[in-house]
Structure 1
């Protein structure tokens, strides 16, 4: 709509010029910069101790607790008191954990004074950013803490409830203080950046997928992108009773009887008996709506996260790329851990610059820097121009019979068959150890020792031509790096880190809310093998997640499934292994066990995402598997079954 007026202005200028007149337009007075802007960064100039702390109840458009009143979401705020700050943007962490479970490595909770006013915010975001000219908003999901409504775990109530806070910050929704007095966010620019780990980051993904105006950036850390994929993998169940209904109750802050109908609906909708994908899960899948995202996205994820697996960031990242969304990514070697607890100083600095760029309009160059930052080994970080690796492609790797005990991986087509007899008692530790020995219930395929470094970057696939003696079976696959190395102990108590007794401080402190947190160090072990990635499939869901079909015993079928995304450089001399088993009672809840599966090796493949130097050979050919010494390593000490600890928390 501005184009005609611009054209008219150009025409007037031309006429004046022809008349020989030169008239300089009056110089526009530059708007004064607030004190917290110092060059291309924000500086801590405002008093944290005297900052405004307040709570606002934001009215939503929903009423899922059925009390006849719109549900309300509580947002606890802290912002600079000084008028010189002007209008400020908002950093928001929306969470279900502020009262039930805590946030961060030290499980901090919100704290309140006797009159209900907020006195302590978990994590460092408020301490660090409020003195730098930001507000911080800690939002309680519907059904948690003081918010009304009932939690629906990734559903419409959760997403629309948090979205309403952004609407309120931009004058599109109503808010009130505890006494009912209207609350208006006249102090903000309306620009919002959401951040959070695990479930907190998941809601950031979901709110961004609505395309809400005012949300400028999100920083999802170890976040879910599709709740079906949090509880299932290709139809294979991760849990039955510990699903969304249980999780809603776990964080519930309302009387049990108020929200039990919602939890009953969650249990019914999740289709635990079948593992099917349905409308319930489609509502909780944010990936298809990546095209609606207006916000930039800075993803952080542990490449060894067994809670919120790497498929979550990978499928979200790929969808954002197709939509042209500005983005950045950090991938650490740890498990379900916040970068604040494994690369603290660099993370705080990068977040500072990211928010300054997207919320304060400061051109600090961060978007001209490499897109990806990856931890190659404990505390060894590299920058990459893209993720997956630029030029990465899927290499078709054949499965060979080898010596009859251990098969081979190579580039030449192979022949023959092999069989796997289900062994539900087989644990992961035993499945990957000593690959040259016979272990009931597994088949192992090994490459020859690598002749040069090999980078695996992206999502591997397994395609098997199988014949099964039962109507259904689960198939499990693991891609293993065999070779002795110092590795992150991501299956340790704190998933790759250990707490120290010293602290570091990031931001301003007051007696009620300090900015100091325990420092950490990497938890490392020397191990003879590393499982790089895993994947599972319920064979009846091989062609459709919504309409499973049973197999006819004795008939050949092709079953293809993805493993979780990964990125690693295997040094020369290492051996790549593929370990196949059937039902996995450690990580999944199989719906069918006891099958025997015949595999046609000539029509089975491993699709390996690799990045090669020009002229390099990915895998040397081998007709017989190499001898590998890999006793059950300490990094794979027996861990609890997935069902006993599936909580997206941190």
Structure 2
């Protein structure tokens, strides 16, 4: 597979709010590539004529590739395209369980730009195929283009009712093929992890397990925060419109190329896709339809997921709501990393999440739920890394032993909208300050904030508010570890922050900053008005780290970068509240 140039890749990854998460360094520009030394063997599969690696080098070794088309489940006449990879030596009449992934990134010409010269199946999850020896282990792998992408027709839908119908149809189709045992698992990262959660929510009996790395739990909370949009509310539809319009390859069959050109005959698709993410009302049906968290009530598909608490891409928002609503078995890796895969490594070879054996655990999970094979190793339900780099095993998450409701009191600020170059709160004072700080006393013992903090307050004035939590040591060295923002569109606010897992050391203090939006990751419109805050309260879910049960893993490399990016120097103020120690676990 030809690699995009590094500068192009960086620009695309910045522009796309839900990146493909590609692994590996870029080595050549498209017009400089040598086609990887390929010999020109470019046989293209059909539904009845399978193709092996010897006939088309884009086909993984040990697999046979076929292409198929089937209708979505909503009666819309949307036609879906699937690439199927079966074990090359699968005997006639034999059946295997299916690992299926559905989404935007499986187009034959490339994931985010045209990268290939000859038709063939996507290499997006080549790491999974190789890391698990998936075909030797007796599985099929199916990649389905959701509507608007690759070889499928229809208007792209960003996880809405159309995508949900596509996922349901893909599960149903995968389960009913003559080579399928009828047991289906879903696998993905980012957007195709999002569709995995959608798969859970459609409640199809054939879906036996979902593995979702860095998914979207709630699209509104991903793109907005209480009426304030993030830049990716604009960038996301632009990026996906571009993917939907990628040029196709000359040796592709006519049906594939015709389906891929659907947007040319239906330009309204791209217009509607650009409009939806700009809707500011969180109660609009557009957002209700695109909330896996809200719609997970009563679901029970076994779930293995990863979530970076230091994510800047697919944020840890809506996660706790999903987990509360989901009734099935849950397994997870949670910790302070960015938008990476469980197996991904940094340029210097370190595991990006800090924990080994992602593919062993993934395969064991699928074996258990798709084949009925008991695990040889009992991995923890939740493997969690905190900000100190320590890994622990938990039966569930969050495991909060105390919910502290802390009185923060009153204050005022000017909604100045400091933007991407904020003034330190220590450099402002008086009536024109852009924020105010409220301080705890030094903690008596190490205490962990685990789960989703919430803050309530009464606000007088028009504009915006940002809430930040800082971990501050004895010398005033601070790290902002959580934040969210809100429009002041009602007098009484109730703001959920991002889910976190942050240990405050003994002697450290918690500082809460309330004020104008002071970072560049929001498209706020400052009012320049004076805002008065009263009756502010912070609800903190707390845990006792002294009771941790250690499990294997190293410090996630991204943690050091996250700490540096969010560092501040603060002058400690008088203590007005106390963070109590967490109770012993029952």
Deviation at 1:432, TM superposition (A): 6.4
Deviations 1:54-108 (A, max 9, x none): 22222224576xxxx54223334243423299421111222312349967xxx99
| 1:352 matched to 2:359 | no
Residue in structure 2 matched with residue 405 of structure 1 by the alignment: none
Residue in structure 2 matched with residue 195 of structure 1 by the alignment: 187
Deviation at 1:567, TM superposition (A): 1.0
| 1:536 matched to 2:485 | yes
Residue in structure 2 matched with residue 554 of structure 1 by the alignment: none
Deviation at 1:614, TM superposition (A): 11
CA distance in structure 2 between the partners assigned to 1:335 and 1:443 by the alignment? 30
Match for 2:148 among 143, 146, 158?
143
Matches within 5 A, 1:38-117: 49-62=61-74, 69-83=77-91, 86-99=94-107, 113=118, 116-117=119-120
CA distance in structure 2 between the partners assigned to 1:594 and 1:365 by the alignment? 61
Deviations 1:387-421 (A, max 9, x none): 111x4332011226xxxxxxxxxxxxxxxx42111
Q: 1:145 to 1:48 in 2, by over 3 A?
A: closer
Deviation at 1:331, TM superposition (A): 0.5
Deviations 1:619-641 (A, max 9, x none): xxxxxxxxxxxxx9742489xxx
Residue in structure 2 matched with residue 364 of structure 1 by the alignment: 375
Contact 2:197–2:210 (CA<8 Å) still a contact in 1? yes
Matches within 5 A, 1:227-376: 227-239=219-231, 242=234, 245-253=237-245, 254-255=260-261, 256-270=263-277, 272=279, 274-320=280-326, 324-341=327-344, 342=352, 343=354, 345-364=356-375, 369-376=379-386
Match for 1:562 among 492, 496, 518?
496
Contact 2:241–2:270 (CA<8 Å) still a contact in 1? yes
Q: TM-score, normalised by structure 2?
A: 0.72
More displaced 10-residue stretch of structure 1: 445-454 or 253-262? 253-262
Deviation at 1:206, TM superposition (A): 1.0
CA distance in structure 1 between the partners assigned to 2:101 and 2:268 by the alignment? 28
Q: Highest CA radius of gyration, 1 or 2?
A: 1
Q: TM-score, normalised by structure 1?
A: 0.66
Q: 1:451 to 1:119 in 2, by over 3 A?
A: closer
CA distance in structure 2 between the partners assigned to 1:131 and 1:88 by the alignment? 11
Contact 2:97–2:180 (CA<8 Å) still a contact in 1? yes
Residue in structure 1 matched with residue 539 of structure 2 by the alignment: 607
Contact 1:201–1:219 (CA<8 Å) still a contact in 2? yes
Deviation at 1:379, TM superposition (A): 5.3
Matches within 5 A, 1:542-553: 542=490
CA distance in structure 2 between the partners assigned to 1:123 and 1:443 by the alignment? 50
Contact 1:455–1:612 (CA<8 Å) still a contact in 2? yes
Residue in structure 2 matched with residue 546 of structure 1 by the alignment: none
CA distance in structure 2 between the partners assigned to 1:370 and 1:538 by the alignment? 40
1:340 match: secondary structure: coil
Deviation at 1:451, TM superposition (A): 1.7
2:416 match: secondary structure: coil
CA distance in structure 2 between the partners assigned to 1:531 and 1:331 by the alignment? 19
CA distance in structure 2 between the partners assigned to 1:539 and 1:332 by the alignment? 32
Residue in structure 2 matched with residue 593 of structure 1 by the alignment: 527
Q: 1:344 to 1:136 in 2, by over 3 A?
A: farther
- Point out where structure 2 has 5 or more consecutive residues left out of the alignment: 1-58, 246-259, 345-351, 548-561, 569-586
Q: 1:243 to 1:213 in 2, by over 3 A?
A: farther
Residue in structure 2 matched with residue 423 of structure 1 by the alignment: 416
Between the two proteins, the alignment pairs up a number of residues equal to 471
Matches within 5 A, 1:454-469: 454-468=447-461
Match for 2:472 among 482, 504, 510?
482
Deviations 1:183-235 (A, max 9, x none): xx211112111111111111111121011221111111111122111221122
Contact 2:184–2:207 (CA<8 Å) still a contact in 1? yes
Residue in structure 2 matched with residue 497 of structure 1 by the alignment: none
Residue in structure 2 matched with residue 404 of structure 1 by the alignment: none
CA distance in structure 2 between the partners assigned to 1:392 and 1:338 by the alignment? 30
Residue in structure 1 matched with residue 507 of structure 2 by the alignment: 573
Matches within 5 A, 1:187-226: 187-226=179-218
Residue in structure 2 matched with residue 403 of structure 1 by the alignment: none
Contact 1:482–1:528 (CA<8 Å) still a contact in 2? yes
- Point out where structure 1 has 5 or more consecutive residues left out of the alignment: 1-46, 172-184, 401-416, 486-526, 543-556, 616-631, 639-650
Q: 1:311 to 1:220 in 2, by over 3 A?
A: same
Deviations 1:448-474 (A, max 9, x none): 222210011111111122322xxx321
Matches within 5 A, 1:426-445: 426-427=419-420, 430-431=423-424, 440-445=433-438
Contact 1:87–1:188 (CA<8 Å) still a contact in 2? yes
1:118 match: secondary structure: coil
| 1:170 matched to 2:100 | no
Match for 2:405 among 396, 399, 403?
396
Deviations 1:323-361 (A, max 9, x none): x21111211211222221224632122112111111121
Contact 2:105–2:124 (CA<8 Å) still a contact in 1? no
Contact 1:245–1:264 (CA<8 Å) still a contact in 2? no
| 1:133 matched to 2:143 | no
CA distance in structure 1 between the partners assigned to 2:413 and 2:61 by the alignment? 65
Residue in structure 1 matched with residue 517 of structure 2 by the alignment: 583
